[in-house]
Chains A and B, each alone.
Chain A
Amino acid sequence: MKKLMLGNEAIARGVYEAGATVATAYPGTPSTEITENIAKYDEIYSEWAPNEKVALEVAIGASIGGARAATAMKHVGLNVAADPLFTASYTGVNGGLVIFVADDPGMHSSQNEQDTRIIARGAKVPVIEPSDSQECKDFTKEAFRISEEFDTPVIVRLSTRVSHSQGIVELEDRENYVLKPYVKNPAKYVMMPAMARRRHISVEERMAKLREFAEKSLLNRIEWGNKKIGVITSGVAYQYAREAFGDVSYLKLGIVYPLPENLIKEFASQVETLYIIEELEPFIENQCRKMGLKVTGKDKLPVIGEYSAGLIKEKLLGETPEKLNDIQDEAPARPPVLCAGCPHRATFYVLKKLKLTVSGDIGCYTLGALAPLESVDTTICMGASVGVAHGLEKARGKEQSKKTVAVIGESTFIHSGITGLIDMVYNNCSGTVIILDNSITAMTGHQHNPTTGYNIKGEPVKKVDLAKLCQAIGVERVKVCDPFDLKKFEQIVKEEVAADELSVIIAQRSCALLKHVRFGPVLTINQDKCIKCRMCMRLGCPAIVDRGDHVEINSTQCAGCDLCPRVCRFNAIEKAGGRDE
């Protein structure tokens, strides 16, 4: 049977067909749909873990326990999981262990553009790279086999365009994988110096065997065409190269670490001009140069951003598209915005009004940095808002704390904000942390997390009580407030920022896009009452539009959340008759 599948969906299918029984992940664009789709197979236990480190540790445990196990994350998630990764490389596996990591060249939804292959090389873990949905499924199954044959975790590296492109996939049956026996083996699984020294030798032996394997693996293939040009490439860059060059010769690498040096030399010896085409870092290229090959690559192609067939044509063949019009330049940008009805809008409105320094975090609320809310001062990585606020105080003194808050979503707080808050308690910080609790992991497309009370399958489970958690670690001032209650919320923020002790404010209000959230009728501006003070414009709501001579509410965009009437001092914003009035 053939099906049109996202790369991520095809990965999930591959995990299923490989007979895996445990999958665990923390959501992160562009990797999220892997685990969402795995969760649809009842044969596989799946879960959202609090963060990528825990997810990988659970997968390692499942592998040691004899199951085929999978974990998925975005590129920056692998940084969080790097600690277990580097040592799981030493212990090796029992059941196959595959780690799916989705890079984001072009940073469609990320804070940096790092290249997973560099980390994998550091950890001495092999990397497999599919270039379309069919390969996503096929390579996943091969990855599990390689993991077991060579006693190693395997990384399958994806990119946004592979993860989020749909292609045709031929489905097959699920393998009947039998759980391997668990045998206590401290020499393999207890990594203290004496054992680890011996395991490091095994790692080096394994890498040598993998280098030999890469020479003959079917994942690396030569497609001979015109031999004037030869292209060594992998992943989605292969697709771009095929489109840009057409009938030339290709060495398409499915295993990008370790590289098949003899195959590369053989290919290079038969072509006149050799190009290396890979997104981000010159990973394959540097190795080729080290081997003494004359290649063209990053001397002409960028290490920044996504590639495309057009970019390759322009940089390597000197072909630029003809300009067919001169009107496109007039289009103003359309940056992403907080949705109409978003709870974060109220929070940032208050923070801006109070002119606070805001250390921000990763989630929808990062958009609070953009106009007109322009509230957020810093965004580094998951959980960093807390540590950054603490650091600001330690550098600039208690006075800084009286004009600073950290803002962090509830899921991000669970992910890696808790330890930062413990640091604040332990080291006597008087700062203020606002947990934006919108009852869901929103930005990645509504996943449950330990505070929502539901698991990945939507089944009710125990939930972490954020207020009790903060109290338990020693925060004495914990306040809970709905940010839409603007006056009260502003009052609480003022008090807590001014307090000499550490405080946590839980700003509690559900994401406007959640199904159970129901708003009233859409709003409209009574032009007779409106004095055009434009107070409502400060909310940065996509439904409130400045027409120059007046301000109006776009009824198609308005969610009816009822926030804007609360900032209007002239009662000019009223409920309209109905949704489609």
Chain B
Amino acid sequence: MNNTSILIVGVGGQGTLLASRILGDVALNSGLDVKVSEVHGMSQRGGSVVTYVKVGEKVYSPIIEKNEADIILCFEKLEALRWIDYAKKDAKIIINDQRIDPMPVITGKVKYPENIIEKIKANYKNVIVVPALEIAKKCGNIKAVNVVMIGVMARHSVFEKDIWVKAIEKTVKPQFLEVNLKAFEEGYNQAGI
């Protein structure tokens, strides 16, 4: 199996769907087979959300399973921890260093796990941490976190930069294009990569 499997995980409302649309468009333009599996409906309401993107010669199952992901794009730290079992041992794990407390933490029933990033780093060697919320704020819209993350991933992908830019231009609403292109650029140029 030579498919590339990318998992996008986050919290409902963070824009994981848009990120997967951009990624899907990039894959389609590469001439490869692609499947993107999303979750809509109830679980989207502030719950844990996951999108599966698979690219390759021929893709059958639309979902990615444990130990299969080549890349995990994590929009939130706790979600990174939740889905970490899906990563291959040498997977690229890109984590937005943002914390969003789930309701059981908010109500004080359980604690938000400590040192998530250190724990993941101790088990996986390709971990990239991105202050995506700060970067998005700097670009002018906190909702651009998703495109910052796409920018970081683009830097690590085999696809040319302009294919990504075209996909963003096609996917994002015109009124938000400028801020999103800026967010992509900032993500792409992240230091320490």
Contacts and interface: CB of A to CB of B under 8 A. Distances in A.
A537 interface: yes
Interface string B68-83: 0000000000110110
Contacts of B131: none
B169 interface: no
B42 A324 contact: no
A371 interface: yes
A409 to B, nearest CB: 14
A137 to B, nearest CB: 15
B65 interface: yes
Interface stretch (B106-114, B149-157, B172-180): B106-114
A443 B62 contact: no
B61 A240 contact: yes
A544 B106 CA distance: 7
B45 A367 contact: yes
A336 B89 contact: no
Interface in A326-350: 327-328, 330-339
B18 interface: no
Interface stretch (A91-99, A112-120, A164-172): A164-172
Contact of B41 (A4, A29, A330, A332): A29
B7 interface: no
A108 B112 CA distance: 25
Interface string A430-447: 000000000000011100
B160 to A, nearest CB: 19
A546 B101 CA distance: 10
Contacts, number: 186
B85 A328 contact: yes
B167 to A, nearest CB: 11
Of B106, B123, B142, the most chain A CB neighbours within 10 A belong to B106
Contacts of A544: 106
Nearest to A131: B60
Interface string A286-314: 00000000000000000000001110000
Contacts of B79: 334
A305 to B, nearest CB: 13
A556 B142 contact: yes
Nearest to B106: A545
A334 B110 contact: no
B110 A332 contact: yes
Nearest to B85: A328
A337 B41 contact: no
Contacts of B87: 324
Given A325-B85, A330-B81, A108 B39 contact: yes
Contacts of B163: none
Contacts of B137: 580
A324 B85 contact: yes
Nearest to A312: B61
Contacts of A537: 106-107
Interface string B34-69: 111111111111111000000000011111011100
A164 B66 contact: no
A242 B35 CA distance: 15
B102 A4 contact: no
A164 B39 contact: yes
Contacts of B120: 327
Interface residues of A: mostly helix, strand, loop or mixed?
loop
Interface in A1-54: 2-4, 6, 29-30, 32-33
Contacts of B15: none
Contact of A30 (B27, B41, B61, B112): B41
Given A321-B67, A335-B102, A371-B103, A4 B11 contact: no
A236 interface: yes
Contacts of B111: 332
Interface in A359-415: 364, 366-367, 370-372
Given A4-B25, A166-B36, A336 B12 contact: yes
Contacts of B65: 308-310, 321
B81 A167 contact: no
Contact of A542 (B35, B67, B103, B109): B103
A467 to B, nearest CB: 29
A248 to B, nearest CB: 13
A239 interface: yes
A335 B61 contact: no
B61 A309 contact: yes
B62 A236 contact: yes
Contacts of B113: 330-332
A540 interface: yes
A161 interface: yes
A336 B44 contact: yes
Nearest to B20: A166
A307 B36 CA distance: 17
A273 interface: no
A527 interface: no
B106 A542 contact: yes
Contacts of B100: 542, 554, 556-557
A364 B34 CA distance: 32
Given A321-B67, A327-B120, 5 more contacts: A108-B41, A165-B62, A370-B103, A554-B100, A554-B101
13 contacts: A4-B36, A161-B62, A161-B63, A165-B37, A166-B38, A242-B61, A308-B61, A324-B87, A367-B42, A371-B109, A443-B41, A444-B41, A546-B108
Closest 5 CB pairs of A and B: A109-B41, A29-B41, A336-B47, A334-B102, A165-B62
